C-alpha cells in the first residue's frame, strides 16, 4: 500500500470535479448516495488569482465533509502560484491539477487537455504547484494516444518525478471528449509503471457492469465517477455496497433535497435557474413521461418543483427506478 492509502484506499470511488455541477449542494446529494471522496468544481487559476467569478461559492466546504479535494486548471506558472496562495488559506484534503479538460474555452487558453499535450510545459506548471501548495498534490489527465502508451507514460513520469502523489487517467483522448471506447490498456500501462502511487481509472463508468470492466481491464482498484453520477447519486452505493436503485419515494426525496440545498446556497431565483439542468438529469432515463423533462426546463420556484414531483408517478415503473443508459 502507498502512503496515500488513508486518502485513496483500495476500492475507493471518487467523485470527479464537474464544472458547473459539483458544488456543495451536489456533493451533499452524492454523499447521501454513498460518496465519500469528492471534489469541488474545477477552479480556474486566473479567476482565483484575480478574485473574479464565484470562487468563494465554488470553494465552500460543508462542516460535515471529512474529505474534500480541490482541482485547479491553468497554464501560467505565475497565476498558478497566486492561485495556490489563495487556496493555502483554506482547508482541503488535496489539490489536483487538471491536464485533461477538453472544453474549448479551457483549451483555447492552453490549459486542461491542451496543456497535457505540451508535456514540458505541463511539468513546469505542476512543479510550480508542488512548490507553492501546502497540500498533497495530484494530477488528472487524459491519455495522449489511444494506441501507444509511450506519450502518456512520459507525461506521467514527469508528474511523478515532480511530486504527484496520485494520478487519475481518463482513458480517452481529448478529441473524443466523453464518448467512445476507453483505452483500458493505456490506463493499465500507467498502473503498472507507477506502482508506488495510487492510479485512478476514469472513463465510461455508469453501471455495475462498466465498473467491473474498467477494474478488470486496467488493474485499478480505485475508480473516478463522472458523467455516470449525473442525476444518479445512488451509483456510489450501488457499486460499493450493492444497494438497490431508489424507489420512487426515495428518488423524489433526493431531488427535493438537492434543490433545497441549492436554494440555501444561492437563493431561490438563482438556484431554480441552475436546478433546471439538475432536475433534467434526475429525470433522464428513469421511465418518466417525456413531458416532465420539458417542464423541468421552466422551473422557477420550489413550488414548481413540488408540482412536477407530484406528477412523476406517471410513466414511472413500479418498485425501484433504475437509471437506463440513453
Annotated catalytic residues are 101
d(CA 166, CA 2): 10
| CB-CB contact of 65 with 32 (8 Å) | no
Rounded-to-integer distance, Cα 56 and Cα 60, Å: 6
> What's the DSSP call for residue 90?
S
> Helix 119-132 crosses helix 77-87 at what angle (to 10 degrees)?
30
As given in the structure block, the three cell numbers for residue 190 are: 500507467
- Rounded CA-CA distance 269/17 in Å is 25
With vertex at residue 116, the alpha carbon angle to CA 87 and CA 36, rounded to the nearest 5 degrees, is: 50
Longest dimension (CA), the chain: 56
Of the candidates 272, 279, 306, the residue with the CA atom closest to the CA atom of residue 294: 279
Q: Measuring CA to CA, which residue among 286, 304, 298, 179 is closest to residue 231?
A: 286
Amino acid at each position: 500500500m502507498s502512503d496515500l492509502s488513508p486518502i485513496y484506499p483500495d476500492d475507493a470511488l471518487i467523485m470527479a470535479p464537474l464544472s458547473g455541477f459539483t458544488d456543495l449542494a451536489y456533493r451533499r446529494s452524492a454523499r447521501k448516495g454513498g460518496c465519500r471522496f469528492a471534489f469541488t468544481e474545477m477552479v480556474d487559476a486566473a479567476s482565483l488569482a484575480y478574485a473574479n467569478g464565484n470562487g468563494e461559492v465554488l470553494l465552500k466546504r460543508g462542516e460535515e465533509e471529512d474529505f474534500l479535494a480541490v482541482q485547479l486548471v491553468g497554464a501560467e506558472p505565475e497565476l498558478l502560484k497566486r492561485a495556490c496562495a489563495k487556496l493555502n488559506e483554506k482547508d482541503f484534503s488535496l489539490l489536483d491539477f487538471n491536464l485533461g479538460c477538453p472544453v474549448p474555452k479551457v483549451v483555447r487558453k492552453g490549459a486542461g487537455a491542451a496543456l497535457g499535450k505540451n508535456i514540458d510545459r505541463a511539468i513546469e506548471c505542476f512543479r510550480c504547484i508542488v512548490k507553492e501548495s501546502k497540500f498533497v498534490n495530484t494530477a488528472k489527465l487524459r491519455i495522449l494516444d489511444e494506441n501507444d502508451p509511450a506519450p502518456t507514460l512520459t507525461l506521467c513520469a514527469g508528474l511523478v518525478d515532480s511530486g504527484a502523489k496520485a494520478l487519475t487517467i481518463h482513458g480517452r483522448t481529448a478529441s473524443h471528449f466523453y464518448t467512445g471506447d476507453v483505452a483500458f490498456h493505456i490506463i493499465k500501462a500507467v498502473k503498472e509503471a507507477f506502482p508506488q502511487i495510487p492510479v485512478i481509472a476514469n472513463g465510461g463508468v455508469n453501471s455495475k457492469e462498466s465498473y467491473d470492466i474498467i477494474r478488470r481491464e486496467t488493474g485499478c482498484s480505485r475508480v473516478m465517477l463522472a458523467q455516470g453520477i449525473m442525476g444518479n447519486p445512488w451509483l456510489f452505493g450501488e457499486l460499493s455496497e450493492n444497494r438497490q436503485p431508489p424507489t420512487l419515494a426515495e428518488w423524489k426525496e433526493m431531488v427535493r433535497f438537492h434543490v433545497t440545498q441549492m436554494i440555501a446556497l444561492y437563493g431561490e431565483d438563482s438556484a431554480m435557474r441552475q436546478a433546471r439542468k439538475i432536475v433534467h438529469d434526475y429525470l433522464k432515463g428513469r421511465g418518466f413521461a417525456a413531458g416532465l423533462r420539458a417542464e423541468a426546463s421552466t422551473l422557477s420556484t420550489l413550488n414548481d418543483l413540488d408540482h412536477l414531483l407530484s406528477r412523476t408517478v406517471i410513466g414511472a415503473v413500479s418498485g425501484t427506478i433504475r437509471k437506463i443508459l440513453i
